Amino acid sequence: MKLVIDCFKLVKGAGKSIGIYNLACHLVQELAKGNHRTENEIIVFGNAYNRPDFGVKGIHFIEIKKNPLDKKACVLWELFQVSVLAKKLGVDKVLFPRGYTSLLHLTKEYVIIHDMIPFYYRKHFPKYFNPLENFYICWRLKASARKADKVITISEASKQDIMKYAQIEDKRITVIYNGYNPIVEGDYKQTDKRYLAAMTSELPHKNAAYILESYTAYHGAVENPLPLMIIGLKDLSKYQLSQNIEADITCISYLEKDEDLYRLIGGATVFLFLSLIEGFGFPPIEAMQLGTPVICSNTSSLPEVVGEGAVCVSVTDCNQVSKAIIDIVSHKIDVAALCRKGKANAERFNWEKTGKKYREVLFE
């Protein structure tokens, strides 16, 4: 079998697709292992930026001589040109990791749809994105799900959303959880400070305002509150917090090195992840691997992903979050047991298992 994985539009650090980039990168590298000993040929359509990650042994890497940062070039590629080139090369199947198939459908097409969050924005935050752009994305997701020969998604929650919005049958969708490479052992737990850590962003579904509201509730409920390190915000200017609350919060807009992120999360007393919706949600899994207790919202895919390895809380009752923080900090909850469950839960997601499932689906 001759399989193409279309990675042309993927550029590390560009746009909002770092999670998709990482999935595609690890998937290609996992499929490449031992592939030179099989009759299957794996071709990656890539670009000059991602060649170092995707042009690995066992892969036939084809660099597309277009600019992946040019929107017009990307639209033309995705809608028409990728399918034409695949047909010309005699490809049996094309896998699209970004959620969108081509319009021409000249070969069998499999698509990975990570989530249907654009539909969530259309309903709950209709003015946040350009309405025409959001309409186009929703249309492309729905059309791709309906047209693809197979839809792969990353959680049962995302599967239900795809069925709801694209109105396709259960049997056409396969759930394959994201894989995650184990964090190399390091000195990430060594710290002389006690603090809370949270991950968010300015995007509404990441729920930054609720994290800050919950921290305010916690801050007022105890005599000596732990400070909060919040990853993903530049500053607190738009949140109208009191001066004494602001004084205990440190904003970290971005951490370039994984080691710095692991050190911050690994050294925390509690890790907060309170998104309104996620297709999967890697940060709680990272915290679990690092042995940090996790408080996580009880919405969408997150309870499914964190299992019994986290304390799941409401996204409408900040006092519930405050209580969970207090219970962990004061050890009213068996923190050692929670962390053991967290580490065991994280082991469910490894690339050996994920790669095996992808091989079964792609080379069936």
- In this structure, the dihedral spanned by the alpha carbons of residues 304, 161, 214 and 325, taken in order and rounded to 10 degrees, is 0
Extract the tokens encoding 212: 């800050």
Per DSSP, what are the bridge partners of residue 252? 231
- Judged by phi (left if over 0) then psi (alpha if -120 to 50, else beta), residue 215 lies in alpha
DSSP for residue 181:
P
Extract the tokens encoding 180: 């995650």
CA distance 36 to 41: 8
Please list the alpha-helical segments (H only) found in 108-185. Answer: 117-124, 131-147, 156-166
DSSP for residue 287:
H
Q: What angle do CA 328, 261, 118 make, to 5 degrees?
A: 90
- Please report the pLDDT score of residue 360 as a whole number: 93
DSSP for residue 139:
H
**Residue 109: is it exposed, middle or buried by C-beta count within 10 angstroms (0-12/13-18/19+)?**
buried
Q: What would you report as the CA-atom Rg of the chain, rounded to the nearest whole angstrom?
A: 22
177-to-23, 153, 285, 291, 363 alpha-carbon distances in Å: 10, 8, 12, 21, 18
- Please report the pLDDT score of residue 85 as a whole number: 97
- Please report the pLDDT score of residue 301 as a whole number: 97
DSSP for residue 356:
H
- Please report the pLDDT score of residue 220 as a whole number: 96
Q: Would the pTM count as exceeding 0.85? A: yes
The residue written with tokens 């692991």 in the block is: 262
* Full pLDDT tens readout for the chain, 364 residues: 999 999 999 998 776 567 899 899 999 999 998 776 678 899 999 999 999 999 999 999 999 999 999 999 999 999 999 999 999 999 999 999 999 999 999 999 999 999 999 999 999 999 999 999 999 999 999 999 999 999 999 999 999 999 999 999 999 999 999 998 788 766 777 677 899 999 999 999 999 999 999 999 999 999 999 999 999 999 999 999 999 999 999 999 988 788 899 999 999 999 999 999 999 999 999 999 999 999 999 999 999 999 999 999 999 999 999 999 999 999 999 999 999 999 999 999 989 899 999 999 999 7
State which amino acid sits at residue 254.
Answer: Y
DSSP for residue 223:
S
CB atoms closer than 10 angstroms to residue 14: 13
Name 45's Cβ contacts closer than 8 Å, sequence gap at least 6.
4, 5, 6, 7, 8, 62, 64, 82, 85
State which amino acid sits at residue 59.
Answer: I
